[in-house]
């Protein structure tokens, strides 16, 4: 089975709620056709069935299904409703996002910091919520807020809803795969100066290396080796702008044995050599 499509929102900035509502469709009604809306359109079906497409893909959404439509996509009705259908919708904007499984931390034109995004919200494009009532309750609370005087309450409810979707639609404890990925990430961050391999990770975490790789790709979108490389380069960026250490010393400090290899890796991920990066941000 192929991996689910993920929409990745880099933060900062944070997603910003524009509007939300509830639609009640009768038999024969269709979702409106739109393109380049400029906003994410999140649909959560309460009852009935909604037939909708986007950019050549189509979904038949039943009760408890959630679908995230993209700001620059074309979405349209595939066919009219065959039964009375109720769904919640909300529009939010976010300027730094990608769709798929990605190999880099940074991305998006709105991010001006020399450092990578500290976090990415990874939302399934389509998910069948195992306990949809929690999402329904959050959407209902949004509808009950007074218009024009509830900014912080609206943004808080949006954050809670996106967190619910990111967790797969359940408020229960994290899955074993997620816990192992987080444990792996913590181990890599604590030992990044050392020589680390998949075999050493397997020995330290007591899981087969292939399973560790699979869990890391599911949670973070990268293998442990690439996660470690990204973390080392991010540490190096901070040392380049906060110290006057030599490139050789910084390379050794972040776990590289050879400065030329460090410089090559840095240029590949940061888009420029370490010295140019330093000159760009220091007088």
Task: Report the range of poorest mean pLDDT among 130-134, 217-221, 259-263.
Answer: 217-221
Q: Does 153 reside within a domain? A: yes
Q: Does 1 reside within a domain? A: no
pLDDT score of 222 more than 80? yes
Task: Report the range of poorest mean pLDDT among 74-88, 102-116, 226-240.
Answer: 102-116
Of the candidates 166, 189, 213, which is a domain's last residue? 166
Of the candidates 166, 194, 218, which is a domain's last residue? 166
Instruction: Output the domain CATH number for residue 142.
Output: 2.60.120.280
CB proximity list for 26: less than 8 A, separation 6 or greater: 81, 84
| Nearest C-alpha neighbor of 205 from the set 224, 221, 218 | 224
Whether residues 96 and 228 share a domain: the answer is no
pLDDT score of 85 more than 50? yes
Instruction: Output the domain CATH number for residue 220.
Output: 1.10.10.60
At 110 the pLDDT is 39
Whether residues 185 and 161 share a domain: the answer is no
Whether residues 146 and 211 share a domain: the answer is no
Is residue 86 within 8 Å of residue 47, measured between CB atoms?
Answer: yes
Local confidence band at 117 (pLDDT 50, 70, 90 cut-offs): low
Structure tokens at 57: 């893909």
Q: How far is CA 89 from the centre of its chain?
A: 20
How far is 170 from 45, CA to CA, in rounded Å? 16
Q: Does 144 reside within a domain? A: yes
The two most distant CA atoms of the chain are separated, in Å, by 70
Average pLDDT, the chain: 87
Structure tokens at 266: 């840095």
Local confidence band at 114 (pLDDT 50, 70, 90 cut-offs): low
Whether residues 188 and 124 share a domain: the answer is no
How far is 5 from 101, CA to CA, in rounded Å? 8
Local confidence band at 112 (pLDDT 50, 70, 90 cut-offs): low
Is residue 233 within 8 Å of residue 103, measured between CB atoms?
Answer: no
Whether residues 67 and 182 share a domain: the answer is no
At 220 the pLDDT is 83
Whether residues 160 and 196 share a domain: the answer is no
How far is 224 from 47, CA to CA, in rounded Å? 41
At 105 the pLDDT is 37
Q: Does 127 reside within a domain? A: yes
How far is 142 from 148, CA to CA, in rounded Å? 12
Local confidence band at 104 (pLDDT 50, 70, 90 cut-offs): very low
Whether residues 150 and 180 share a domain: the answer is no
How far is 157 from 165, CA to CA, in rounded Å? 12
Whether residues 158 and 222 share a domain: the answer is no
Percent of the chain scoring above 70 in pLDDT: 89
Q: Does 171 reside within a domain? A: no
Whether residues 215 and 147 share a domain: the answer is no
Whether residues 150 and 260 share a domain: the answer is no
Q: Does 246 reside within a domain? A: yes
pLDDT score of 118 more than 90? no
Local confidence band at 106 (pLDDT 50, 70, 90 cut-offs): very low
Local confidence band at 55 (pLDDT 50, 70, 90 cut-offs): very high
Q: Are strands 40-47 and 50-54 parallel, antiparallel or unpaired?
A: unpaired
Whether residues 151 and 259 share a domain: the answer is no
Of the candidates 166, 185, 210, which is a domain's last residue? 166
Whether residues 161 and 223 share a domain: the answer is no
How many distinct structural domains can be found in the chain? 2
Q: Does 235 reside within a domain? A: yes
pLDDT score of 103 more than 70? no
Q: Which domain holds residue 218?
A: 176-281
Partnered with residue 67 across adjacent β-strands are 43, 126
For the chain, state the CA radius of gyration. Answer: 22
Is residue 251 within 8 Å of residue 236, measured between CB atoms?
Answer: yes
Q: Does 126 reside within a domain? A: yes
Tens digit of each residue's pLDDT (9 = 90 or more) over 171-192: 444 678 888 998 999 999 999 9
| Nearest C-alpha neighbor of 78 from the set 25, 127, 31 | 31
How far is 28 from 23, CA to CA, in rounded Å? 14
């Amino acid at each position: 089975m192929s991996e689910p499509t993920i929409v990745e929102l880099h933060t900062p900035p944070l997603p910003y709620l524009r509007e939300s509502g509830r639609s009640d469709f009768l038999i024969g009604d269709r979702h409106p056709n739109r393109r380049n809306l400029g906003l994410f359109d999140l649909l959560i079906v309460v009852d009935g069935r909604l037939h909708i497409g986007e950019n050549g893909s189509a979904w038949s959404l039943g009760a408890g299904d959630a679908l995230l439509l993209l700001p620059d996509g074309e979405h349209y009705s595939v066919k009219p409703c065959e039964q009375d259908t109720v769904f919640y919708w909300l529009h939010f904007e976010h300027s730094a996002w990608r769709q798929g499984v990605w190999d880099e931390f940074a991305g998006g034109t709105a991010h001006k910091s020399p450092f990578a995004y500290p976090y990415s919200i990874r939302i399934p494009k389509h998910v069948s919520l195992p306990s949809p009532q929690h999402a329904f309750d959050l959407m209902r609370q949004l509808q009950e807020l007074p218009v024009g005087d509830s900014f912080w309450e609206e943004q808080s409810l949006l954050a809670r809803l996106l967190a619910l979707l990111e967790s797969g639609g359940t408020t229960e404890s994290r899955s074993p795969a997620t816990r192992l990925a987080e444990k792996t990430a913590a181990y890599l961050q604590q030992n990044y100066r050392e020589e680390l391999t998949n075999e050493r990770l397997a020995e330290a975490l007591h899981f087969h290396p292939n399973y560790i790789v699979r869990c890391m790709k599911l949670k973070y979108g990268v293998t442990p080796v690439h996660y470690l490389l990204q973390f080392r380069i991010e540490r190096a960026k901070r040392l380049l702008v906060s110290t006057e250490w030599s490139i050789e010393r910084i390379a050794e400090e972040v776990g590289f044995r050879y400065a030329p290899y460090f410089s090559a890796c840095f240029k590949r991920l940061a888009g420029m050599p370490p010295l140019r990066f330093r000159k760009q941000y220091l007088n």
